[in-house]
Amino acid sequence: MANGNTNTAQATQQPPKHFNLVRFLATCLLALLVLVGLAVLITWLIIRPKRFVYTMENGSIQNFNLTNNHLNATFDFVLKAYNPNSRVSLYYDYIESAVTYEDQTLAFNTVEPFFQPHRNATRVESKLAAQNLALSPSIFKDIKVEKASGEIQVDVHFKSKIRFKVGIWKSRHRNLRIVCSSVTLHFSWYKHFDKVPCEVEL
Ligand SMILES: *[C@@H]1O[C@H](CO)[C@@H](O)[C@H](O)[C@H]1NC(C)=O
Ligand SMILES: *[C@@H]1O[C@H](CO)[C@@H](O)[C@H](O)[C@H]1NC(C)=O
Ligand SMILES: *[C@@H]1O[C@H](CO)[C@@H](O)[C@H](O)[C@H]1NC(C)=O
Ligand SMILES: *[C@@H]1O[C@H](CO)[C@@H](O)[C@H](O)[C@H]1NC(C)=O
């Protein structure tokens, strides 16, 4: 108590000392902030995160049968997953794919989990089957028209749980969504497939 009193007394007698302490603490805090900022910047510069790129490379529809408002069809898709990063690799721990037509899900399936090294392109194959799927009359009519035209436009969705790996550090699970919109499938097998760039949500 007495010490505190004399200190206060001294402080009031010699204001510069008090200011020095404040200035010292402020300098420390500033230095710490600069150091943390530099650490973040250096880490970022080393890792240089780049966006993952997904492209629908091929797609086909087979065993198509549309009878009495019911649909049978099998779909084959090849998604190219490209990881342009030189230090970040990826675990795809769970992948689900779905093909939709006018917001109606025609078929879904899961894809084998895989690990993607840095600077790697991997072809992800997905087979889906619609089996005796009941359709609303309007969707039945629309698909019938598309079949007559020789091609059908569908959307292909992928939902994935991924983890990043940088050096020995692994991130927690994050959700990755990939949407390939307006994928045109031809009913004639000899028709050329046009690649479709896909959108990514992370
Ligand atoms: C696309 O898939 C079809 C059917 O599986 C196949 O015949 C064709 O060769 C594939 N095209 C390419 C470019 O891979
Ligand atoms: C489609 O399915 C119906 C009912 O199962 C069958 O009668 C018909 O022969 C099938 N058509 C084709 C082209 O396979
Ligand atoms: C779909 O295939 C199942 C057997 O796998 C058959 O019973 C059904 O009639 C087929 N439906 C259509 C619309 O072809
Ligand atoms: C990408 O990684 C997979 C699995 O490790 C490997 O099979 C494939 O050859 C790699 N592709 C390239 C272009 O390095």
Say how many Å lie between the CA of residue 85 and the centre of ligand 2. Answer: 49
Pocket of ligand 3 (CB under 6 A): 65, 67, 70, 72, 131-132
Q: What tokens were used for 71? A: 């649909």
- Closest residue by CA, ligand 4 atom 12: 120
SS3 label, residue 195: coil
Based on the fold, state whether residues 36 and 59 are members of the same structural domain: no
Atom 6 of ligand 2, residue of closest alpha carbon = 67
Domain span at 30: 2-47
Q: Which residues of the chain have pLDDT under 70?
A: 1-16
> Quick one: pLDDT at residue 31?
95
Q: How many domains does the chain have?
A: 2
Question: Are 38 and 72 part of one and the same domain?
Answer: no
Is there a single domain that holds both residue 177 and residue 150?
yes
Indicate if 64 and 38 belong to the same structural domain.
no
Type of residue numbered 80 = K
Pair 13, 76 in one domain? no
Q: Do 6 and 105 belong to one domain? A: no
Burial of 57 (0-12, 13-18, 19+ CB in 10 A): middle
Predicted pLDDT of residue 46: 79
Residue 43: per-residue pLDDT: 85
Q: What distance in angstroms lies between residue 149's CA and the mean position of ligand 2's atoms?
A: 20
Same domain, 39 and 60: no
- Confidence (pLDDT) at 75: 97
Same-domain status, 153 and 194: yes
- CATH number of the domain encompassing residue 87: 2.60.40
Ligand 4 atom at shortest distance from the alpha carbon of 116: 2
pLDDT at position 91:
97
pLDDT at 15: 57
Whose CA is closest to atom 7 on ligand 3? 132
Q: Where are the beta strands (DSSP E) in 34-150?
A: 53-67, 70-83, 88-101, 104-111, 114-116, 120-134
In this structure, the answer to whether residues 85 and 157 fall within a common structural domain is yes
- pLDDT tens digits, residue range 128-162? 999 999 999 999 999 999 999 999 999 999 999 99
Q: Which two tokens stand for residue 83?
A: 């990881």
104 CB near ligand 1 (under 6 Å): no
Helix axes 2-13, 15-47, angle to 10 degrees: 90
- Is there a single domain that holds both residue 62 and residue 37? no
Of 77, 95, 87, 82, the C-alpha closest to 160 is 95
Report which bound ligand comes closest to the CA of 190: 1
Same domain, yes or no, for 159 and 180? Answer: yes
Cβ burial of 20 (10 Å; 0-12, 13-18, 19+) is exposed
**Which ligand has the minimum distance to the alpha carbon of residue 123?**
4
Are residues 61 and 40 located together in one domain of the fold? no
The pLDDT assigned to 2 comes to 45
